Structure 1
């Protein structure tokens, strides 16, 4: 599983740093291939991107093999990889641009509490990118992003300035509902264990 700690285990050249990975106990998590694009996609956790998820560089090139590795990790449930796949669909990098699929991948990642996915969902709902434009839903995801530290409070204050008091209340209630769902899911045993 890719993790936030993984970004500290990738060198500037984009190659896995196994010595550093052993230090964090995640050596089994490294994908053994030269990352031309993954480093940029995941580097936000290294502190270079504080208030927003990473931009997907226009010059980013990703081989089909690299995308397939990331897609495999995403399909296995890794929230960082799910978010990165969403970014690829949003920008049309290594795949055909499809904003609706980007939103789907962001939802999968956000369903595991991954902060940058909340930020991207807020942006998608605010702009109507891949979903019907919905300022209340955008505000709800912005609140969640702020809650987990993925977005600064200034972005929330800016949104509140554009919404009516009723929309702010509705968005806050929606955020609380989404957060409750996340917490319940986090406390639930996996389906296989629940059947035993």
Structure 2
């Protein structure tokens, strides 16, 4: 009678360890390749928010009146030039002093395109100063642009540039407002 040697069944400890090491290296490789894509997956949303905030602020500014005088000035309905106004709107900043984007009521809120000149905010929010979006900053520049557009009167058109920044990303839009009805 002969004894048959036992056949090996299963795997050895060394084979198990090698399998675990090889699979672990593969998983680490896949995760390291996918990590930048996952980390940057929100970038299109952040860019879309930059564009939306910039468009919104530009629309807010361009929908304001562009008159010779501050709309609260008694001469606003009849003025034919800046000289006829007690508070002319050619200073490109809040006129009269003390007007702000966040005020409620006549005489204290921005009410003319030129009032927004030099305006900036650290955390972008709505006109009621609520719903702040941390990390976003905005600035608004207003300048006379009539000559650049071929008009005889340089003050007959304004260039409004809104720039919104978040981290290292920045987005700017420029719009133009013409004085087509200066007493409205």
State the TM-score, normalized to the length of structure 1.
0.27
Q: Taking CA–CA contacts closer than 8 Å with sequence separation of 6 or more, which of the two structures ends up with the larger relative contact order?
A: 2
Q: Which has the larger radius of gyration?
A: 2
State the TM-score, normalized to the length of structure 2.
0.28
Q: Which structure dedicates a bigger proportion of its chain to strand?
A: 2
Q: Which structure dedicates a bigger proportion of its chain to helix?
A: 1
